[in-house]
Amino acid sequence: MPVRKSYAFVNNRGGTGKSFCLYQVATAYAKANPDLKVLIMDCSAHGDVSQYLLGGAQEPLGEDAVAFSAGTEALNKIPKEKTMAGILLAMLDVDSTAEVLTRRFQGLAINNEKTKLDDLGVHLAKHSLDEQEMPQNLWLAAGGKDLPSGEVNRNLFGEQPSPTARILTEKVKLDDWKRGGSLLLSALNRLEEDCVVFFDTDADIAGRGASLVALLAAKRYIVAVHENWIDYQRLYEDKSGFFPLLAHLNSKSATGKIHMLLFNKLRKLTKDSTTLHQPSPGRDARLSFTTAEVEKKNMAEIADDMFFRCFRNMTTNYQRFFLDNDTIQDEYDFASRFVTAFYYFPSLATKISQLKGIPYTNIVPNKVYKHGSRSKEIGPIASDTLDAIKATIDAVVKKL
């Protein structure tokens, strides 16, 4: 059956929190929708989402482990064919060892063969740690491992890419990546189970083939941004910017549409909800918390600027990349439909979530967690603190 929904977290600038936001939102979504299957496809060469989900950044748990974190240790044990790199090799038919998967993907359109979730990833509950309490309806196509990354670090340290990464870099061209997006979408639409898919992407979307595949396979985009004007302006940069890239891809292929503008890492003053604009006409974004006035002003100005650039500039016509664009009459409609926000979540809760790989929604109130060979302690986190975090995440999940 066709995928119910699919979301790619995107921004062509690094450090906006795409991966961490996806990790929190996708796990919370799976927990809130136990009757649906949820597939996370990590198309990032960094593989941060995969590491969080597979054990976090804490020390490896095995005595003979050579990885630098528990998440990386578990990631290294996942079979190649259950990683994004392996799936891409199979789809693009550039690896003779992936013949079975290649026949599956390329035969989909011919014989209407169904796709199974186990063809596309691992059942996360079987590969994560018990303490993480990952939802039983969550699958992962792991990233990082063997996906092509940038040249800077390899040139600096003399590091050689893996054979898989080298094949994907040297043998796969732009048109192949576009074909990969189409093939992946076809495979997802033939899943036997009712499924929602989340894609993570790299900042250098135009230069990373796996991220291009995600952009073409996803039906909806969640743009993660800061209330920082320099970061925001980069969305419109020629060639590398998200909007020009989307326009280029859309001229030759079908693309998804923007579902949400997710502002991240704002300072929270109170837990009281508030409107984005002051004064507000009633049609406006309603934030689940109150942030500092200067930050809210920046958010409002950035949201207004996006409305005028995308909905009033007929030259670029970027409004075609937004869902429900025919219902948007002014900047207040735009904010009401697209804008939401996360605040800067408390550092102690974030440390538990990153180190232990435990999503915020699974952190146990008032529990002291231990990590590392010397059993270092983290926590406890008070119930009201966790309740506020979960309420903010739930407000985003309900909009998906």
Q: What pLDDT digit, counting tens, does each position of 109-162 carry?
A: 434 567 788 888 999 999 999 999 999 999 999 998 788 765 434 444 455 677
**Tell me, what amino acid is at 341?**
A
Number of CB atoms found within 10 A of residue 221's CB = 28
In the chain, the DSSP E strands lie at 5-10, 37-42, 122-123, 138-141, 195-200, 220-225, 257-266, 268-270, 274-275, 286-287, 290-291, 339-343, 369-371, 376-378
CA–CA separation, 244 vs 221, rounded Å? 15
CA–CA separation, 195 vs 245, rounded Å? 28
pLDDT value at residue 22: 97
The answer to whether residue 293 scores a pLDDT higher than 70 is: yes
Cβ atoms of 123 and 21 within 8 Å: the answer is: no
pLDDT value at residue 187: 82
State pTM to two decimals. Answer: 0.92
- Which residues are CB-neighbours of 103 under 8 A, at least 6 positions away? none
pLDDT band at 102, cuts 50/70/90?
very low
The answer to whether residue 214 scores a pLDDT higher than 70 is: yes
The answer to whether residue 96 scores a pLDDT higher than 90 is: no
pLDDT band at 296, cuts 50/70/90?
very high
Cβ atoms of 161 and 169 within 8 Å: the answer is: yes
What digits encode the pLDDT tens for the residues 174-194?
777 777 888 888 888 888 888
